C-alpha cells in the first residue's frame, strides 16, 4: 500500500478524523526527514484532494502542527516544515508561558526557576569548566565592565555573561532554556531604571562569580550567584505588576 493510499484510508474508515490523519501524515514526513526543514508543505488544494477534506479541516491540521512547533506558518507564505528540536519545544510553550506570567506571582515564580537553574550551572562550572569556558566568561566579564556607563549596552553584556553559563555543560537544552528566559523575562527587565552605580554593583557580582569558578569553589560560586540574582529581584519586583510579590 503506498503512502497516499494509506493516509486516504485513515481519513475515510471512521477511526481517525480527517484533520488528525493529515496531522499524522505531515508529522511523519517531517520527523523522518522526507519533508526537510524549511521546505514548503504540500499546497492546501493538494491536501484537500488527497484526504477528501475541506479547506477548514486542512487549516485545522496546519494550526495543530504549528502549535507543536513542527511547522512555521507566516501570513501570505506557504507553511514550511520545522525539524523537531529543543528550540521548537520552547517555541511551542511560548503561549503557555505568556499566560502563566500574567497570573499572580507568575513572574516571581518564573524568576525563581531561573535562580535555581543558574545556581546549579555555576556549581557545575566551578567543577567542570574548561579553559575555553573560563576564557569565554572572562571575555564576557570584560565587555560587561566596559559598558558600565551605558545602560543599554550594559544590559546586553549582562545577558551575554549569563548566557555563557548555560553553554558550559555543552547540553543543547540549556542554551535553549536561556533563550526562553530571555523571551519570558526581558519585557520586565526593560522597565527597570539602570544607573552606572547599579551597573557597577552587578558587574562586581559577575566578577565574584568568575573568581569562584576559577578557584574551583562551587559553594562560593552558588552563593555569589544567588546573592546577585536575589538582589536583582528586589529591583525588578518594583516594576512587576505581579500580584503578591
Q: Tell whether 150 and 222 lie within a shared domain.
A: yes
Give the per-residue pLDDT at 158: 94
Integer Cα distance of 219 and 230 in angstroms: 16
Entry pTM: 0.67
Give the per-residue pLDDT at 17: 82
**Residue 97, domain member (yes or no):** yes
Domain span at 126: 92-236
Give the per-residue pLDDT at 87: 66
**Residue 243, domain member (yes or no):** no
Q: Total structural domains in the chain?
A: 2
pLDDT tens for each residue of the chain, 245 residues long: 445 444 444 444 444 688 999 999 999 998 888 988 889 999 999 999 999 999 999 999 999 998 887 888 888 889 999 877 666 667 667 777 788 888 888 899 999 999 999 999 999 999 999 999 999 999 999 999 999 999 989 999 999 999 999 999 999 889 989 988 888 888 777 777 789 999 999 999 999 999 999 999 999 999 999 999 999 999 888 777 655 44
Amino acid at each position: 500500500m503506498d503512502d497516499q493510499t494509506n493516509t486516504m484510508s485513515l481519513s475515510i474508515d471512521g477511526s481517525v478524523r480527517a484533520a488528525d490523519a493529515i496531522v499524522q501524515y505531515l508529522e511523519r514526513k517531517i520527523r523522518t526527514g522526507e519533508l526537510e526543514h524549511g521546505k514548503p508543505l504540500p499546497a492546501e488544494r493538494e491536501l484537500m484532494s488527497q484526504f477528501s477534506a475541506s479547506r477548514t479541516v486542512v487549516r485545522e491540521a496546519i494550526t495543530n502542527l504549528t502549535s507543536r512547533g513542527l511547522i512555521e506558518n507566516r501570513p501570505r507564505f506557504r507553511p514550511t516544515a520545522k525539524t523537531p528540536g529543543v528550540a521548537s519545544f520552547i517555541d511551542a510553550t511560548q503561549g503557555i508561558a505568556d499566560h502563566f506570567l500574567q497570573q499572580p506571582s507568575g513572574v516571581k515564580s518564573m524568576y525563581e526557576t531561573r535562580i535555581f537553574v543558574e545556581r546549579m550551572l555555576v556549581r557545575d562550572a566551578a567543577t567542570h569548566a574548561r579553559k575555553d569556558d573560563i576564557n569565554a566568561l572572562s571575555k564576557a566579564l570584560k565587555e560587561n565592565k566596559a559598558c558600565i556607563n551605558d545602560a543599554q549596552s550594559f544590559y546586553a553584556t549582562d545577558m551575554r555573561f549569563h548566557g555563557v553559563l548555560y553553554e558550559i555543560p555543552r547540553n543543547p537544552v540549556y542554551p535553549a532554556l536561556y533563550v526562553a528566559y530571555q523571551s519570558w523575562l526581558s519585557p520586565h527587565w526593560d522597565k527597570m531604571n539602570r544607573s552606572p552605580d547599579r551597573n557597577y554593583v552587578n558587574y562586581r557580582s559577575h566578577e565574584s562569580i568568575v573568581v569562584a569558578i576559577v578557584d574551583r569553589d562551587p559553594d562560593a560560586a552558588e552563593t555569589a550567584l544567588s546573592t546577585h540574582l536575589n538582589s536583582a529581584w528586589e529591583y525588578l519586583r518594583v516594576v512587576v505588576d505581579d500580584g503578591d510579590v
